[in-house]
Amino acid sequence: MRRVPAVMAGAVGFAGIVAMHAGSAPSILGANTPPVNSTPTTTVPAGSGPTTTTTPPPTGAARSATGTGENYGYGVLSVKVTVQGTRITDVSVASLQTAEQYSQSLAQQVIPTLKGEVLSAQSAHINGISGATYTSEAYAYSVQSALDKLGVK
């Protein structure tokens, strides 16, 4: 069997899929810069609890919006962001569907820390959590899309 046409077809197929992908999904191979910083500093702490932050009293009416469900490969995550004025007061998980148990427990472990990061950074530009890169990115994107819907930042 002559091999050259098969090898060429393989190269064409490879290039085709890469081209299709680069045009669509922003976070993977794409040119859009994700809100998550590239230097993760926190590692997954064992059994971390929710963090609290002290904030000045919020002004204005409380509004909230749910960000789009972000598909991060091992699940789909969407968060609900509550703001008062321009201040983010709360972030909660609107929906989380994971492919398997490991992703579920990982998400449950890191989401409190991610919430704390959003509240202290008061934006979607947070540090990722090492060991939960996919989850962190999805969280950040969903927060950003909720903020966009609210017209904040």
Partner 1 sequence: MASLTFDPVETSHRGKARKRTVTSRPGPVPRPVIAEIATTLAGLGLGVCLALAVTAESWKQLGATGGVLMFLGNLTGLAGTYLALIMVLLVSRVSVVERVLGQDKLLAFHRKLAPWPISLIVAHAILLTLAYAEVARAGVLHQIWAFIKSYPNMLTATIALVVMVAIAVTSIYSVRRRMRRERWWAIHLFMYLALALAFAHEIALGPSFVGHPLTRLVWSVVWASTAGVVLFYRFGQPLYRTLRHRLEVAEIHQEGPDTVSIICRGRNLDRLAVAGGQFFEWRFLTRGMWWQAHPFSLSARPRPPFLRLTVKGIGDYSSAVARLKPGTRVAIEGPYGSFTTHARRRPKVALIAGGVGVTAVRSLLEDLPRDCDPVVVLRASTAEELVLGPEVAELVRHRKGRVHELVGSRAEVRMDRLVELVPDLQERDVYVSGPESFVNRVVATLARLGVPEDSVHFEVYSL
Residues of this chain that interact with partner 1 (CB under 8 A) are 1-3, 5-18, 21-22, 27-29, 34, 36, 38, 40, 71-76, 99-102, 128, 130-131, 133-134, 137
Name which of 48 and 71 has its Cβ closer to partner 1.
71
Name which of 11 and 61 has its Cβ closer to partner 1.
11
Nearest distance, CB of residue 18 and partner 1, angstroms: 5
Strand partners, 83: 63, 88
Name which of 18 and 62 has its Cβ closer to partner 1.
18
Nearest distance, CB of residue 47 and partner 1, angstroms: 14
Strand partners, 76: 71, 97
Long-range contacts: 49-55, Cβ < 8 Å, 24+? 49/112, 50/112, 50/115, 50/116, 51/112, 51/113, 51/115, 51/116, 52/116, 53/116, 53/119, 53/120, 55/87, 55/89, 55/119
3-state secondary structure of 92: strand
Name which of 51 and 102 has its Cβ closer to partner 1.
102
Nearest distance, CB of residue 77 and partner 1, angstroms: 11
